[in-house]
Chains A and B, each alone.
Chain A
């Protein structure tokens, strides 16, 4: 590729956002290359992870056809934990609306689809910086080489150095990030189905809130894959920065795995991989502008993650923003007005569920950063349940009325306020 050649689109980052965008643009006849810094598409990518399918089943029908999902989630459990016990709410359904995924497999599939539509995915290419004379992005630099394009898409993930260079994320606000770290623990499919009480091929998601994060805002998770479990923790970095503890973060994961209500689920499993990744959890209030002239942001790079506690979504927003970016570029370039791409994209985002949902849940980051939700509330709920099920040495056990009164008393005004805020979130 000489300096003279100007491509239609350069996409930076072969994840769901970048590959969805590349497929969309290439499918419409544009010349598209995807720069991926890893050895292969997905090589640098890590999720919990699960993908909610309903929002993307129409928009990405073609892209996700025959995609290598792990298991459809038919069993949802939220567990409130104190140091030793947990109280669970579990929903079992005949069908699920999300699937567990492993990104190495999923992203490879997405890359194959984008390639089949004519996009060129180039691995081992780190886009070092944007070329932006006079405030307009005209290409990227890869090492000494300059690649030029009518539009550049930064789908370079949560840390997006390109968005930062463009001035869209000048300061990295610690409280707008969380870190997720997890192990892949291999187990036979039949053992997984047995332990999680699942029909063959179906999956479970378990979320843990409370003592598992040592009081830090966040939670633990177990997702069932085909023949492994994803077991990990997510914690908000704003709280980690102020964390008073002798422990390391990684100690929390080991303690999580050793809990008496978790260890039997993992017993005999072999850890095959360990990984960590940041999550942009700033929500609506922390969203950057989705681009500058010549540059569009998509996926994590644009801050498109929704955390509302029991539901944490990123990949469906990434895929959707990628498709919308691709379509906006097609519309702008076909009309020979590349400068309109950003405006078209902004409008498309506004009309999509992404901006609507992010706005609707804009209070979530603040409510979910309250320490008490993770320290006091789960413990009080566990205590209440413990009392409720206890028959004492004098042969007594509480009446329903007393138990609920006891719960109200132990929650206190603050606890009730927390619950109220959660319900209004």
Chain B
């Protein structure tokens, strides 16, 4: 298995506070890695470094052996790193279909075409419908994204991310703020993506039961530092992890 993403001593400091402290990890191709850690452990900050929203104070990020530390978020998406956000982040006044269609269009590289009508690219809509079907949202294609329920918005976001067909998916708490009855549906979607078997997934999550089922490996962040990295079973047995994080949570 070749290494796809590698971070080397990745650190970021916000005015004296080190949010991510010398984290070095390796993620191989088609791997499913989960990141856990208490609030404020630097999980989302670490994601922001990977996707390019933030620039590290120290350290390097490699993607397929290439140094991407200086690339902008846009460039990284094109390289093959797509991410979802913890806060719902869609185009509110566009239809669900259009939201996904824009992602498909970006993937197809039709970026500066201004002479033809967008309907001419019918295959984009067909493709967008396929993704919506995968995330179980195909009954809402014509609704405005702002009219969707929270859980549906998360699904829509997932569809947009999938439509980019990036090799790597960074999922930032896909079930955050979701009502309990919505969670199984989104888990089902993640399972479906995993079963397609062509993506590398890195996931931040609070719900432990879900991580154990899906992950190939789990890494634990605590106060910005990498506390442990291993298979779900190893992490469960690890005593430092137990006291730092799992101690307070009933499984």
The reply to whether chain A is a binding partner of chain B is no
